[in-house]
Amino acid sequence: MRQFNTTGLCVPEKHYMVDLSGRLEQIKTMVDRGDYFTINRGRQYGKTTTLRELHKRLNAEYICIRISFEGIGDEPFEAPEVFCRTFMELVQDALEISSLAEDAGYIASWLDASVSSFMALGRHITKLCKDRKLVLMIDEVDKSSNYRIYINFLGMLRDKYQRRRDSVATFHSVIFAGVYDIKNIKMKIIQQGVYSPTTTEGTVYNSPWNIAADYKVDMSFNPEDIVAMLNEYEGDYHTGMDSTAIAREIHGYSGGYPFLVSRICKLIDEDLDKKWTLAGVQEAVRLVLDEQNTLFDDMIKNLEMYSDLYQFIYELLIVGEKKLNSVQDTVVNRALMFCFLKRQDNKQVVIHNRIFEIVISKYMLTKDAREKKEKRVIGILKQDVVRDGRFDMELALRKFAKHYRELFNEDDLAFLERQGKMLFLSYIAPLLNGDGFYHIESQLSDLRRMDIVVDYNREQFIIELKIWHGEAGHEAAYDQLAGYLRSKGAKQGYLVTFDLRKSANRDPREDWVNLGDLCLFDVVL
């Protein structure tokens, strides 16, 4: 039987996979045109699997050279002659499993000891590409820590691409795969010529890959993709699942991020005794959130490395600032490159998926608690608000309101205006730990409101956090929350409002409000 795979290459004969044929056909169209391009997506986004399947698709028409820079170390990137020799050896290895596998003489001719510069390598490529349609694929192109030599290699390929119109033979198409968009590499090179990501001397903007075509193929999985994969699984195991409902639920949490989709499915299949229900999806998500994996590790590493990226995500996710998708904004481009964000139709950007929202907000909560000394609402225990396995959200909010009013005064208003939402999140998170989780609906959040969905033991609680903007604004918040509840098929919701006026003007309240067929628990602090 096949299985779901989340480690390394996916193979259709061994693993349950989304059908890639439509995507491969789009990529093949680019290859047929002779495009040079980069498949740049976040970690574990299926790039290597896509290259492998593309290699199989193209083999009938092209001589495909599929190589990887992963695992070769930094030595080839220190000197041109070492890089050239390593590249030629990698090409030889790839040709031995290509359609030219029987042409030993041609394969041997690729390694030429006299090639010790990029100019010589360019001439060598021209000679060996003559009258042949070669497609070069390089995976993990961003593995090197020294880009100086690599930039020269790109420059050589660009020069040959531009001279194709003069009948200079070269690769028919070149495809790179990696996280970083090579077309817009920004390098910092110190005077000695050694790359360092921390130096500020000798900043160089170099675009040797400005010949690259735009890669617009959507590699995320939509609900229909997931349904088709689950139906293949169902054909083997006959679990009786509602594959359409399960696929929508998985997509709702993962946003179609390939690793997350496969990880949820794998956990349900292997760790949750094939519990293919909506509750099973929720349990699998909780397991994903509790584990350490390379995707989350890489996410946190990048947030730590780029302080401007951290601040941008903090303002978007926690503070609720709207962020535009500006092509000139290097922080936006970096966040999109890492797949932290996705574009909205209204040209705004939001966090890519709910699981990322949970992971990032939890990390930011922990970091704030460790580094900042502001007051926090603490002292409430999980057993105070959990009764017979059920979370008492009304009681939790009443306790929050009580401790909040005891702890904060008018001297804290400036802090609360920006940090009130973080204050609430830092209160609720420990109460859910182990049996539940929350996510922030970043598509709906702004400076005036934030929508939080709490999942706990098969129950879901919808909470809107808001800053007081007058009685009319409060009535509008009722309507906003009511509309959101109806869209989610819920009958009950919770509204928490931070009233930041002077104490004499405040009107604290903790009441249930009926709005037709809906009930709202209204807390004004």
Is the confidence at residue 36, as pLDDT, over 90?
yes
Q: Which residue has the higher pLDDT, 411 or 279?
A: 279
pLDDT at 376: 72
Buried b (16+ CB within 10 A) or exposed e, 454-490: bbbeeeebbbbbbbbeeeeebeebbebbbebbeeeeb
Average pLDDT over residues 105-115: 95
Residue 444: predicted pLDDT? 58
Dump the DSSP string for 358-421. Answer: HHHHHHHHHHHHHH----------HHHHEETTEE-HHHHHHHHHHHHHHH--GGGHHHHHHHHH
Question: pLDDT at position 317, please?
Answer: 87
pLDDT in tens, 214-250: 999 999 999 999 999 999 999 999 999 999 999 999 9
* Residues of the chain above pLDDT 70, percent: 91
Helices 354-371/243-254 angle, 10° precision? 30
Q: pLDDT: is 375 or 188 the higher one?
A: 375
Helix, strand, or coil (residue 272): coil
User: What rounded mean pLDDT belongs to the chain?
Assistant: 87
- 162: nearest Cα among 150, 174, 153, 170: 170
Q: How many CB atoms lie within 10 A of CB 45?
A: 20
- pLDDT at residue 126, as a whole number: 96
Radius of gyration for the chain, computed over Cα atoms and rounded to the nearest angstrom: 27
Mean pLDDT of 7-12: 90
- Tens of pLDDT, residues 353-367: 999 999 998 899 888
Residue 190's pLDDT band, with cuts at 50, 70 and 90, is very low
Q: How confident is the model at residue 135 (pLDDT cuts 50, 70, 90)?
A: very high
Q: What is the pLDDT of residue 446?
A: 56
Q: What is the pLDDT of residues 247-296, one digit of tens each?
A: 999 999 999 999 999 999 999 999 999 999 999 999 999 999 989 899 99
CA atoms within 13 A on the CB side of 32: 9
Q: Is 430 helix (H, G, I), strand (E, B) or coil?
A: helix
Residue 245 and residue 278 in contact, taking contact as beta carbons nearer than 8 Å? yes
Position 378 scores a pLDDT of: 73
Three-class secondary structure assignment of 298-310: HHHHHHHHCHHHH
365-379: average pLDDT: 73
Cβ atoms < 10 Å from Cβ of 346: 9
What does the DSSP 8-state code read for residue 183?
Answer: G
Q: What is the pLDDT of residue 411?
A: 80
Q: What is the pLDDT of residue 192?
A: 34
**pLDDT digit string, tens, across residues 83-105:** 999 999 999 999 998 889 899 99
Q: Are the CB atoms for 257 and 285 separated by under 8 Å? A: no
Please write the tens of the pLDDT for every residue from 311-346.
999 988 888 788 888 878 889 988 998 999 998 876
pLDDT at res. 381: 80
Q: What is the mean pLDDT of residues 8-14?
A: 91
- Residue-wise pLDDT for 430-478, tens only, equals 898 778 888 887 665 555 567 889 989 888 999 999 888 888 989 999 9
